[in-house]
Structure 1
Amino acid sequence: MESEPTRVMVAVNESSIKGYPHASISSKKAFEWTLKKIVKSNTSGFKLLLLHAQVQDEDGFDDIDSIYASPDDFRNMRERNKANGLHLLEFFVNKCHEIGVRCEAWIRKGDPTEVICHEVRRVRPDFLVVGSRGLGPFQKVFVGTVSEFCVKHAECPVIIIKRSAEESPQDPADD
């Protein structure tokens, strides 16, 4: 009798570095750590649940310098936003399939802290893995940290993966 796989939710996000439409340094590190230290060679014993909490600007506009002249312009903007999130998930799903680990991936829009904790309650993973940018105390006051919020509020064990100094951009708030 085969037992149920351990379900690991990994919260992933896009890089905040301008002109860099890829996975953030922190979420890529959390994903790679999960594969290397948790899954290892036991690919059938795990199922990765890849959640992308897509942040929407307060006013709903990501491209402030764009000109909107027709309804199609807005439809194109929504499709581009959706495609950005899909491109991110495609990266992680492809990696899972390359090594043979089962996975599911989905996007939810909203504040990452609320989205991640809501999805943890809904999906009930065995544990959650999140990346950390390693912000200093001053930056935490203004930016806040998703990882610390998840430790306090997620209804499952949470593992925080820190990025190393070599992996950090010049501005630690970038990811």
Structure 2
Amino acid sequence: MAEVAAETKVQSKVIVAIDESECSSYALKWALQNLDDKLKSGLLLFSVISIDYSGAFAGGYGSLPADLMTSMQDNQKKFVASLLAKAKEICAKHGVDADTVSVMGNPKDAICDAVQKYHCQLLVLGSHGRGAVGRAFLGSVSNYCVNHAKCPVLVVRQPF
């Protein structure tokens, strides 16, 4: 797992995993509204740049050309940087000065590794709201983190 961008000043107490989903945005806003005191002592906004492009060319057509792979990774890095910048702006509106980190890797492992690396006391994740069948076929980052993160995990689910 390679660290891509880091803007950290302190050991954060709370880490919020950010991705492009609405549930991730909702989890951040929920945390800002409900965990105010905890966030003042340190908030880390964390995002993962996925390195799995196996679905991009499904069907056995071979591997991706190196220049295409590099271009896809560069675009993803820019996208994740803009996600974190937007999340940081939302935090600032709530009076919270957040640090940001993005890494390349598998989201499940990267989030759990970041919890340990930054000595976080609470991990906040959004829930995609998949049922048991969806989790069985697609997996669940939040379920994995609940079972493997070395701190309490708060999974925030949007109301229907």
Judge same fold: TM > 0.5, yes or no. yes
Q: Is the 8 A contact 1:43 1:102 kept in 2?
A: no
SS at match of 2:42: strand
Correspondent of 1:145 among 140, 152, 160: 140
Question: Counterparts of 1:103-122 in structure 2 under 5 Å?
Answer: 103-122=98-117
Cα distance, 1:87 vs structure 2 = 0.7
> For the structure 1 residues 104 and 144, does the alpha-carbon distance in structure 2 shift closer, same or farther, using more than 3 Å as the test?
same
> For the structure 1 residues 141 and 44, does the alpha-carbon distance in structure 2 shift closer, same or farther, using more than 3 Å as the test?
closer
- Aligned partner of 1:30: which letter? A
Q: What residue number does 1:91 align with?
A: 86
Correspondent of 2:23 among 20, 23, 26: 26
Instruction: Find out whether 1:7 has 2:2 as its counterpart.
Output: no
Instruction: Find out whether 1:37 has 2:34 as its counterpart.
Output: yes
Q: Is the 8 A contact 1:120 1:155 kept in 2?
A: yes
- Aligned partner of 1:27: which letter? S
Q: Deviations over 1:109-167 (max 9, x none)?
A: 111110001111111111110111111111111011111111111000111101222xx
Q: Is the 8 A contact 2:47 2:102 kept in 1?
A: yes
> For the structure 1 residues 122 and 60, does the alpha-carbon distance in structure 2 shift closer, same or farther, using more than 3 Å as the test?
farther
Q: What residue number does 2:154 align with?
A: 159
- Aligned partner of 2:41: which letter? F
**More relative contact order in 1 or in 2 (CA 8 Å, sep 6+)?**
2
Cα distance, 1:98 vs structure 2 = 2.2
Q: Deviations over 1:7-27 (max 9, x none)?
A: 21001111xxxxxxxxx1111
Q: Deviations over 1:59-81 (max 9, x none)?
A: 4969xxxxx9995x665443322
Question: What stretches of structure 2 of length at least 5 have no aligned partner?
Answer: 1-9, 58-63
Distance in structure 2 (CA, Å) of the matches to 1:13 and 1:164: 19
Question: What stretches of structure 1 of length at least 5 have no aligned partner?
Answer: 15-23, 63-67, 166-175
**TM-score with structure 1 length normalisation?**
0.72
Cα distance, 1:57 vs structure 2 = 2.7
Percent identity for Structure 1 against Structure 2: 30
Runs of 4 or more, structure 1, over 6 Å off, are none
SS at match of 1:116: helix
**TM-score with structure 2 length normalisation?**
0.78
- Aligned partner of 1:9: which letter? I
SS at match of 2:47: strand
Larger Rg: 1
Q: Is the 8 A contact 1:26 1:131 kept in 2?
A: yes
